Amino acid sequence: MQSVVMFFGAGASKPFGYLLTAQILPHIVRLASEGRLLASGGDGARRGFLERLRTLFPGASADDKGAVGLPQITDVLSLLDRLATDGNGLGPRFSADDARQTRHQLDRAIAEVLDGPADPPAIADSLKKRRQWADAVMRRIENGDRVTLITTNYDLLFERALYERMAEGCPFPALRKLAATIDCGFPWRMPLYGDQEPVAMRPERPRLAVFKLHGSLNWLRCNVCGYIYINPRGAIYHQAYANEPPPPMCIIHAHAAPGRCTPSW
C-alpha cells in the first residue's frame, strides 16, 4: 500500500477554463461593470462596489491600461480584513463599514466568478479528461493505496469527478455513502437529508481524503450549531445570500435565528 498525495492550485483548473488567482479581480471588475455580477443587489449595489474599489486603488484598471494594474485578489482581501478587524477606514470616503461591506460583496463576487469556467472548453473533452483522471485515481484506491487530495481551489472540478466515479457514475451521489468513505478533515452536516441532517463523522478507514484549505463553494457554516454543511452534488454558497423565505439555515435550528448560514471560505 502506498500513500498518494496530490496538491492542486489554480493552475490545475486553468486548462478547464477556470481563472488563475491574478485573473480573478480584473474579471470581477469587468463583469460588475457590465452588470453581470451581484445581480440581486441591483445597479446601485454594483456601482457602490466599483466606486469603493476605485477609492481603494485609484488609477487601477482591470485591463492594465490605467496608471497601475489591479492587485492580486488575496492582497485586497488581506487589506479589507485588516481594516475591518481594526475598525479603521482610509478616510471620509472609505470607512470601516465600507471595508466590511466591500469584503462581503467581494466574497460573493469571487464565488460567482468561480462557479464555473470563465472560458468554457469543449464540454465533451472536459468531461472525458476529468473522468480519465478520476478513473486513474480510483484504480489506486481500489488497489489499496491511501489517496489524499489537497487543494486551495474553491471550485468543485476535481472532487466532483471523484464523487461521481465513487458513486458508479451517478450524477447525484448518495450522501451517506460518500460520508462513510471520504475524510474531509472535520465532522460535517449533510444538507437536506430528510428532516434530520445528520452529522458525518470522520471515517476510521476512508477510501479518499479531500482537504480544501481555503474552503469551498459547496460549504456553508451554520452560526448556531457551528457545523459546516457540505453538498457533494454541487455549489450551495448562494444560499447564504438568499433574500426571500425560506432563509438559509440549519433545519435542526429552524426555530432559532433565521438567515444565519455563512459561506465557508
DSSP string, 189-238: EPTTSTTT--EEPPPSS-SEEEEETT--TTEEEETTT-PEEE-TTS--GG
pTM over cut 0.85: no
pLDDT per residue as tens, the chain (265 positions)? 789 999 999 999 999 999 999 999 999 999 999 989 888 778 888 999 999 998 888 877 666 554 467 888 999 999 999 998 899 888 888 999 999 999 989 999 999 999 998 887 777 788 889 999 999 999 999 999 999 999 999 999 999 898 888 877 555 556 777 888 899 999 998 876 555 678 889 999 898 999 999 999 999 888 878 889 898 888 988 888 775 344 444 433 333 333 445 665 5
State residue 65's pLDDT score: 55
Q: What is the pLDDT of residues 115-161, one digit of tens each?
A: 998 887 777 788 889 999 999 999 999 999 999 999 999 999 999 89
* CB of 86 closer than 8 Å to CB of 99: no
State residue 63's pLDDT score: 60
CA dist 210 and 208 (Å) reads: 7
State residue 259's pLDDT score: 41
State residue 248's pLDDT score: 44
Domain extent listing, the chain: 3-16+119-263, 21-114
Sheet holding 219-222, edge to edge: 199-200, 188-189, 228-230, 219-222, 261-263
State residue 196's pLDDT score: 65
User: How many other C-beta atoms can be found within 10 angstroms of the C-beta atom of residue 39?
Assistant: 11
State residue 256's pLDDT score: 36
43-65 residues labelled b (16+ CB within 10 A) or e (exposed): eeebebbbebbeebbeebebeee
User: How many other C-beta atoms can be found within 10 angstroms of the C-beta atom of residue 145?
Assistant: 14
